[in-house]
Amino acid sequence: MAEVLVLVDHLEGEIKKSTYELLTAARTLGEPSAVVVGAAGTAAKLADGLAGHGAEKIYVAETDDASFLTPEVSVLASLVESASPAAVLIAVTPDGKEIAGRLAVRTNSAWLNDVVAIAGDGVTHSVFGGAFVAEAKANTEHPVITLRPGSVDIEPTAGAGAQETVTVTVDGRNATVTSREPIVGGDRPELTEASVVVSGGRGVGSADDFGVVEGLADTLGAAVGASRAAVDSGYYPHQFQVGQTGKTVSPQLYIALGISGAIQHRAGMQTSKTIIAVNKDAEAPIFEIADFGVVGDLFTVAPQLKDEIAKRK
């Protein structure tokens, strides 16, 4: 059976949930091999966490050169050449998309982006800002497929997996990082990984009032998101923007507070499993995709919701 390379998405020593989704999806295409790339002393440690998810082989590549931009591209490109995999699977994240684009060019492969399902030799992906889904097939060998986090249910395997660990050398640098700026996210879960997201829109009205959104999020252990109008108005930082020009999320529960539901916002959240909208305008388009809707003032509804949830804890 053909090998399928899965790039392990990890942060601060933890494997992200999206990696297990990739490993589950990879099994429909062939035999998954996990590829872990990280700073010296960090990547090899993650191999144990991959057991039970079907990776027969784990490629480990470590580098202590912090100025190496996306070493994943070099590692994956050399593995594409040596292993000739059926496909390379990467999570849809800002880094994942950068790696996928560079890798596709480097290996002369098709890139199928924002995929929400893989079946047989084809994929379903979300196009035109989520307005349509399209069925697609790559016409090249070893296509690069970026899978939207949250679109596949994780299915662990019965066997231990991970029979073999192979060390890969990191080389072939063609771009250098000159500075890095940490993104401050606080103690809340990472937006694209969170199983619950509470987002605020222009209806929140000010940066100070975003405390209402944060308060509800904290009661639920959720990540906080924002619409572009909220970001552009300076209510919340851009790194939390959900939508076509922000992040794509697909949590179990998405709560939209004071968000009208423009197509560009929906593009980033409409695959959420359950959507709750609170808006004082009963005609707001967000209600077209909401599973539950409350027509009301968010400053009344959100605190009530928060108190009810807190009582039940």
Q: Provide the binding-site residues for ligand FAD, judged by CB under 6 A.
A: 201-203, 227-230, 241-246, 258-260, 262, 264-265, 268, 278-281, 284, 297-299
Contact 114, 93 (CB under 8 A): no
CA distance 17 to 22: 9
Nearest distance in Å: CB 291, ligand FAD: 18
Q: Which of 218, 299 has the CB closer to ligand FAD? A: 299
Q: Which of 49, 243 has the CB closer to ligand FAD? A: 243
Nearest distance in Å: CB 210, ligand FAD: 12
Q: Which of 112, 242 has the CB closer to ligand FAD? A: 242
Nearest distance in Å: CB 257, ligand FAD: 7
CA distance 236 to 213: 11
Nearest distance in Å: CB 142, ligand FAD: 31
Q: Which of 63, 270 has the CB closer to ligand FAD? A: 270
Q: Which of 73, 298 has the CB closer to ligand FAD? A: 298
Q: Which of 25, 262 has the CB closer to ligand FAD? A: 262
Q: Which of 52, 215 has the CB closer to ligand FAD? A: 215
Q: Which of 151, 227 has the CB closer to ligand FAD? A: 227
| Closest residue to ligand FAD, based on beta-carbon distance | 243
Nearest distance in Å: CB 192, ligand FAD: 14
b/e sequence 99-124, b meaning 16+ C-beta within 10 Å: bbbbbbebbebbbbbbbbbbeeeebb
Angle at 164 between CA 161 and CA 166, to 5 degrees: 135
Nearest distance in Å: CB 306, ligand FAD: 15
What DSSP line would sit under the chain, residue for residue? --EEEEEPPEETTEE-HHHHHHHHHHTTTSEEEEEEEEETTTSGGGGGGGTTTT-SEEEEEEE--TTBS-HHHHHHHHHHHHH--SEEEEE-SHHHHHHHHHHHHHHT--EEEEEEEEETTEEEEEEGGGTEEEEE--SSSS-EEEE-TTSS-----SS----EEEE--------B-----PPP-TTSPPTTT-SEEEEE-GGG-STGGGHHHHHHHHHHT-EEEE-HHHHHTTSS-GGGBBSTTSB----SEEEEES----HHHHTTTTT-SEEEEEES-TT-THHHH-SEEEES-HHHHHHHHHHHHHHH-
Nearest distance in Å: CB 283, ligand FAD: 9
Nearest distance in Å: CB 290, ligand FAD: 12
Nearest distance in Å: CB 258, ligand FAD: 4
Q: Which of 16, 265 has the CB closer to ligand FAD? A: 265
